[in-house]
Structure 1
Amino acid sequence: MQKVSFKNRTWDVAGNLYFPEKYDKTKKYAAVVCVHPGSSVKEQTAGLYANQLAIGGFIALTFDASFQGESGGEPRFLEDPATRVEDIRCAVDFLTTLEFVDRDRIGALGICAGGGYAANASISEKRIRAIATVVGTNASRAFREANPLEVLNEVGRQRTAEVNGADKLINNWIPNSAQEAREAGLEELDLMEAIDYYRTPRGQHPNSSNQLLFSSMSNLIMFDAFHLAEYFLKQPLLVIVGDKVGAFGSYRDSFDLYNKAASSNKKIYTVKGAGHYDLYDQPKATNEALEQIIPFFKENL
């Protein structure tokens, strides 16, 4: 693995580039952009999948979203869907500059919200020749189901306060501990597993700080990751989901993406007994997913 960086507008996006075990710089390789979930960073689940794709013979690229992790951009902790999609375009730009990457064999893999962003990028970015999602979510759908008009009004009030001198409001993505969640009466399956992944040594990373700029909410609520997929998402598509259904909605969103996509070459695969976060890092679930993903990219890139 090699640390790399590329530009999005004026700032640097920090990435990790993974190489096949018997990498030969004189050869041309297919490459896959691996897109991390919301609140995540490149070293977490996206890095796990990228490493396994490299073992499978691909060049794989992970990166921290703009405004987050080791990447640049201001304001910090902004989750802006349009910029996250542009990050993916810029990652493809970067891959096309590498002599050992075949420009006509670039794919994308996204996990959770990263799956929604990867799908959205693929709708218009036709240099992405094949796309796979793992527990992909249309994050905007989830936020729209939780008092969206009230939140939009709060965002407006907060922006007014900030432009008049108040500090920026930064919230947590999730409670910082299972105990904190229980005290708040929040013990839903996906949320508790998110805490177990992000806030314990299981998946914790110092650059994944659990911080979300509150004004991001207006962008998140209004963004539809699958907009126009029924017309323009025609690339080969593989959708991976677990059958343990939680509140985050990846099961519902994954089937929504599969049904909407205009691709004539699409498949949805359900990992039995797996929940949302099992497909982040649990060997049984991720190995079964990769048994589908690696042949899919070999066939379509």
Structure 2
Amino acid sequence: MARTPFEHGADARADSCFVSESAQDPFEEHRNLLFAVAYRMLGTAADAEDAVQDAWLRWSAGDRGDVADPKAYLVRITTNIALDRLRSARAQRETYVGPWLPEPILTSPDIAEATEMSESVSMAMLVVLETLSPLERAVFVLKEVFGYPYAEIGKAIDRSESSVRQLGTRARKHVEARRPRFEAGGAERRAATDRFFDAVLGGDINRLMEVLAPDVALWTDGGGKVQAARRVIHGADKVGRWLTAVSGVPYAGVEWDDMRPRRVRLNGEPGLVVDGPDGPITAFVVALGADGRVEAIHIVSNPDKLQAVAAGRELPI
């Protein structure tokens, strides 16, 4: 069967804003919401699209005569498909070469009215969500991001309401202990990240040291397909030296003079994509600490995880 078209991504709150050719079809009406749930559950746009496709197949083939609430039914299907995929992915990621990072995706430049939603899809948050169990992640996404009541979540994942509350409490405490603490507005966030990107592109270690937090962590995801650090690098001195060492030299078979950096918004945050002649070769996203300095750097260079960026696919939030 041919794959159903998936045009853009998801708007977590306003899932009805997507104008489809089948506006009367409940699946098309809620497609954006389903992608939003699946992406936050799975961490990659490709897997999220596959989960939405599987949900469409079940929706199309199933008997919907007894479905009183199509939206809840579709969310339940998608959540369970994502859970199954996440459990399988966990085993695969144990043998992944180097650190595993979520797949970056372009997001709308105007997030002033969607701060909570943008945080829920940030690279730093998705990295934290990777440390939850699949069930904890499902409960956190459905409750904390989309505001579903515990009773409804219980029906979606086939657990009692009390069990879901316990899962939600554990997940929330875990996330709160690890989530970024920078609370400044968009202009300050942009200025802080611009200082970092300027220092990286200029290969200026002194400027880098000014913007890096002492305990900064650098994650580089090459997936064994391009050169990348095999472990997370910790500490401003080591991170600064690693970044300046790779600045100005060929990467992924592309000469420095053939690279074209562009400032974009990735996962709700200011980001940097470096393009080569054939498309993106790497993407940078940073997380800022309470003092406005960079405390985490996420660099995705695995070409399999740059396809959404290469396609220009945007996730409205």
Instruction: State if a TM-score over 0.5 links the two structures.
Output: no
TM-score (norm 2): 0.27
Q: Whose relative contact order is higher, 1 or 2, with alpha carbons under 8 Å and at least 6 apart? A: 2
Q: Greater share of strand residues, 1 or 2? A: 1
